[in-house]
Amino acid sequence: MTNSKQQRSPLAPMRFPQLPQIAGARFASAAAGVRYHDRADVALATLQPGTVIAGVFTRSSTRAACVIDCQNKIGEDATNGAAILVNAGNANAFTGRAGVQSVARLCTTLAAKTDIPSQRIFTSSTGVIGELLPTASIEASLSDLVERQSPDQLADMAQAILTTDTFAKGAARRVEIDGRVVQLAGIAKGSGMIAPNMATMLAYVFTDADLEQSQLQAMVKRQNHRSFNCITVDGDTSTSDTLLVCATRASNVRVDGHEIFEEALGSLMLDLAQQIVRDGEGATKFITIEISGADTDADARVHAHAIANSPLVKTAISGEDPNWGRVVMAIGKSGAQADRDLLRIWFGNVLVAEDGWVSANYSEKDARRHLRQAEVSIKVDFGLGLGKTTVWTCDFSKRYIEINADYRS
């Protein structure tokens, strides 16, 4: 169940995908009453012995206790099984020593119920910041979670971890290596407070591929840079951002040396990342920002995020106003290298500005027609070098303000 106060995003996929079972992984969800009283709000994934886990996390200096705990556990011995416990409605962030104690207590309690060492239990919390986690309520749900685990409940887990999301997010990929099949399935949550910094909101990917933890960690870091770190909704990085990728190795298919596996992993991660943008709080437009000709790739990213995070750009697109001057403004404030007279800017296929001024052939009517679509693109060529990137964002509508003004109500 999604947030009952909201209608499903108009940018949402038509349906939740069919997720394959991942050998060596089981899932469950339950209602613990953490914040919501009419839906599941805790979820559990348990993974067979030998599972390797990679992850990236928020760099926020106020990150939650559970994030710090997960960071400390990545790379632990995979001899034993592993578990992921997630709750929605409370971020357990900025809760001081009590937050640290809650994480330790949940790991210890779950370890006793599963025979999985607490050092192999990863917790995540998402929701309101600065409120003590109702640890006892989550503990009370653990027996039910452990008892009801099943290989086919990943979709239910996707529902249980939502907060202001209007739809559950899932993706799957299937690759064939040397005539044998490897499965990948992932879920994510996120809608607001979205501007990742070496992480995502909450995302969990599971595969039965066989590879070493160091190999998986390198893949995740590379693909995260091209997916979750290329999206933004509102420019605000969460205290809870966590991406965990788990390989149970149950297929016995070694994937090292096969680029097709990393390509599938990257494709799945980008799919989930873009779904988060499509569920941006109050979003009505899915915006692709393509930068080319920048001095460096790093400059291209700076310019792209300056445009994507500009409230003036985002509100203009929400109002379907082709005010290209706001794009010029965002470029100018970014701090990365730019030359006014070399810039070329497009809305869709409509060239709106070049040679330091409006294009001689610019048609505002055509530009406005493009902005009336649900899928909008802004392209900028800087004419300086080979730097390029693509970033995805959404507009700011009146609904964004309503959602965030009433978040704790």
The catalytic residue positions are 200
Residue 385 token pair: 């070098």
Residue 131 token pair: 């409120």
Question: CA-to-CA distance for 351 and 408, rounded, in angstroms?
Answer: 44
* 83 within 8 A of 121, measured Cβ to Cβ: yes
Using alpha carbons, select from 374, 399, 258, 384 the residue that is nearest to residue 11: 374
**Unique residue bearing structure tokens 């390198």:** 218
Q: Could you tell me how many helices (H) and strands (E) the chain has, helices first?
A: 11, 15
Relative to beta strand 121-128, strand 82-90 is: parallel
Question: CA-to-CA distance for 268 and 137, rounded, in angstroms?
Answer: 33
**Complete edge-to-edge strand list for the sheet that includes strand 375-381:** 357-358, 350-354, 344-347, 375-381, 286-294, 387-394
3-state SS, residue 31? coil
Question: CA-to-CA distance for 357 and 360, rounded, in angstroms?
Answer: 9
